[in-house]
Every structure is written in structure tokens, then in C-alpha cells.
Chain A
Amino acid sequence: MTGTQPGAGGPAVAAGGGPALTESGGAEGELGVGAFSRSRRGRLLRSPRGALVTSTASTLVVLGVIVAAFLLAPGSRAVRSTYFNVHDMWRAFIGDPHEGFYSVGRGLVVNIEMFMIGEVLILVLALLVALVRQSKSPVLFPLRMIAVAYVDFFRGVPLILVILAIGFGLPALYLPVVSSQSAFVYGVLALVLAYSAYVSEVYRAGLNSVPLSQIASARSLGLRPRTAMRHVVLPQAVRTIIPPLLNDFISLQKDTALVAVLGAVIEANRAAEIYSSTVFNYSGYTVAALLFLLLTIPLARFTDHLIARDRARRLAGAT
């Protein structure tokens, strides 16, 4: 490249040294980009208008292909009348006690109840499990072992088996109090036990993400371990785990539907099941699916928003 000028108005990089720079840079006007020019396609994708046009077009093409495949499929008509029948969807949504089926919409309220109660209990139980696992005290050794076994067990067993075991197993024991609860209580209990195992691991990751220097700093100030945990470590840990926690709660929201296997809890999924077996049309399930999406999608967007905000804060802090 020695001596060859990269075209007229090209950037004065190598050639000549000092004088070349002042010559081409002297005028205040527009400078060409010469050999550094971006390809035409690259330029199109980078202009704001080009980007909008391109993204709209590609979205339409993709959606078009999916819808066409669905409509043109040999069984399309049958599927549409069985799963997407608007009349059945509406009937399933509002329910009709005289016909012997329940409202999927009202069932969803039960899902939300299970979610809300379960969420609070999970946050508390998972934190306890995480703190026990993080503890160093020799007195707590047996509890630590129990916590490890608990997490290993409930993370390994499919949720539906946990629900069946608790929902049908505990009543079969004929114990006082324990065996005489409603299916709703057993369902929530199963969700809490299974999810606390996962969430305790999220807590633990958060606790471990707090730098050791923070702990050294708290100790050097003469804070007791419990105080340091409560006022220094835990607040910082919770901050970092909010997005993964919300992810788990999105899963929890939809997994409340699994309690349907107990039969006695008329939540959205169970109501849809009853509808479909009464009317022999599956549109009730579609309604349930749509209702769940209605709940989980805002939660997912909210999580994204928190992640973006956290990232922005981190970038700002890095300067």
C-alpha cells in the first residue's frame, strides 16, 4: 500500500504523513469515504427508513408463510372448527352450569389465586433454604444436609408427579389436619415445594454474586454475620436476581394449570378439559391458552424492561 492514494477524497491515512493530512482535512466541507465505503445493502439496512421497511417486509413474509401453511394444510378446516371455533370458545369462556361445564374465565381466577399465594410462600421458603445452604455454622449441619436433599429431590422429579403424590398421597395417609385439606391447598403445596427448590438456587446464585470484598468490608466494620447478610449481602443479591426470579414466576403462572390433574380444583385448564369432554370441541383449551398468554406476556415484557434497565445502569456505572 505504500504511496497509493485510496481514490479521490479518500481518507488521508498512510500517504505522505503530515502534509497530506492538512491538505485534505483543511477544508471544512464534506469529505468522501473513498475505499471505506459500505456496501449498498449495508447502507440500506442502516438508514432508519430502510430498517423499518426491511423489518416490516420480512415480518409480513414470515407471518404470511405460517398462516398460509396453516390454512392450506389438508386438515385445516377440521382443526379450525375443533380448536378455533369462536362459538365454542365463547361458550367455554363464560361457562354454563346447566350444561354441566364451568367457565374457563372464572377458572383462571383460581389459577391467579394459586399463583399469588404460591409466589409469596415460595419467596419465603426458597430464601430459608438458600440461607441454610449458605450457612457455615456446624450446628446447622443436619439442616444443610436436609436442604441439599430437598433441592436435589424436587428439582429432579417432574412437577406433575409431585402434584399427584401430594394431592392423592397426603389424603390417603389419614393424618389429622394434613390429610383433610382441600385439593386447592394440596395443589399450592406441591407448587410451593417444587418451585422453592428452583428459586432457592436462584437466591444462592444471587448471594454468591455479591463480591467477597463487600463481605470483608462489612466484617471489618464489626458487623455480625447475620447483620452483614441482612443489610449488605441480601439487598445486593436480591437486586441481581429479580429478572431470573420473574422468569421462574412466569413458569409458575402457567404451571398452576397442572393442578388440573387433581380433578377437584376447577381452574382454567380443568374447566377447558370438562368443556371439551362434554361438547367434544377443543376450543376451550384454546381459550385457556390465550388467557394464560394474556397473563404471561406482560410479565415477560416487564422482565425484559427490568433487564434492559439493569443493563443501562451497569453501563452507566462502568464509565
Chain B
Amino acid sequence: MIVKRKPLNLFERLYLPAIIGGFKVTLRHLFKKKVTMQYPEEKWVVPEGYRGAPYLVKDQEGSTKCVSCQLCEFVCPPKAIKITPPGPTGQLADRSNAEKMPKEFEINMLRCIFCGFCQEVCPEEAIFLQKDYSLTGTSRAEMIYNKEKLLDLGGTHAGVQKWKHKAEEAQAQENFPVKV
């Protein structure tokens, strides 16, 4: 398609009206409220439901919630999560009747695409996408967050303590059936 170019008319060719029009815009903004944020000294308020970096959380009693079911590792599209299960001789879980927790839990933040599948799939409410969006490091290795770091960054998430309730329920039934 050929676009026909109209020749400039006299008013346009005068040049000055356009310059003055431009200065008007500049002057108007000079007295308006400033919109530039002084990042990183100043930071924006992260909205609710924002998908930042995924971190592991602890329950209200300080126990690791993750039971190393590896569903997040399975569902993770860029394969950023790597979990090492405890194995038969591994460390016992913080909550004894949860039987297991990960020996190591690594998220490669360079790979993570912040999709939130891990949070969605987690049956234990142990991993949440939190509000961190600016992750920096001086090496690639530094960007692989381990279990300890993820738990420290994640903080606490008070939720339904299903393992605690199970343990209490079982304790109440301790004498049934009659033990010999």
C-alpha cells in the first residue's frame, strides 16, 4: 500500500507553533506531582496476589511444612526445583507423624519463571510465591537457594495443622483396641 504524503501547509511550515505547543506540555508537567520512583531507595508496594519468588514456609510451631512429596519438582515447567528425599536413614521430620521432610530443597532462581505451579500443587501448603521480585547474586551458584535459605526467607504460614490433628486424634484412641 502506498501512503500518500500530504505536503505541509503554511501553519505547519511556520515551525514556531509546534515548538510552543511542546513547551506547553513540558511546563504543565513541571508543576504536576512527580511520578518517577527513586528505585532502589524507594520501592513500590507489591500488590496482593503478586507472584514473586517461591519460598518454603514453616508452620506456627516452627516446623518445616514440606514433606518432600516432590510434586512441585514434578510440576515445575523450567525444572528449577530439585529435592533430595531423606531416604530410609535420613533426618526425622520436625513433626514426627509427618514421617519425612526434604534432606535438601533447592530452587534455581535463575531458572524459576514465577508461574506459581509449585504453590498450586503443594498438598501441604509449604511453598508460596512471595513478594520478592528482585533477586541478585554474584554467581550462578549463589542463585541456587537451598533449603535453609528458602525457609529463612519464607517465614511462617499459619494454616491448618493437619499432622498435629492426626497425632492428637491417634493419641485419643491409643487404648483401642485393647492392647495385650
Q: Do A and B come from one complex?
A: no
Which residues of chain B have a CB within 8 Å of any CB of chain A? none
A contact set with B: CB distance below 8 Å: none
